[in-house]
Amino acid sequence: MFIFIYPQTISANDCDTALINIQNKISDAFMNSFMTGNTDAFLTIENELSQSQDPMHAYWLAYTYYYKSFYFIALEDKVNSEKK
């Protein structure tokens, strides 16, 4: 006897748009910060991710803070690099 279990398919409507290409969005925000001299692109991502209590959102929000701190470290801004 064989039992086949098929993974549940996810429709486009079920996808969380905040997480689509999130790693690329964060990388782009990092590079954009150097070009513009501000962290506005990070703030947009932070606002979008903080709308949910989902663990995946929390992970990517922490990842965003991590990259944002690298930006401030590159500017030798220790105070802001230690903030979230």
**33-47 pLDDT, tens digit each:** 999 999 999 999 999
What does the pLDDT read at residue 77?
84
pLDDT, mean over the chain: 85
Structure tokens at 11: 């429709």
Residue 58 lies in a domain: yes
Residue 1 lies in a domain: no
CA triple 61-65-69, angle to 5 deg? 170
Residue 3 lies in a domain: no
- Work out how many domains the chain is built from and give that number: 1
User: Which of these ranges, 19-23, 55-59, 73-77, has the smallest mean pLDDT?
Assistant: 73-77
Residue 33 lies in a domain: yes
CA 35 to chain centre: 19
The mean per-residue pLDDT over the stretch 10-14 comes to 45
The whole domain housing 39 covers 17-81
What does the pLDDT read at residue 30?
96
Residue 13 in this model has a pLDDT that exceeds 80: no
User: How long a stretch of residues is the chain?
Assistant: 84
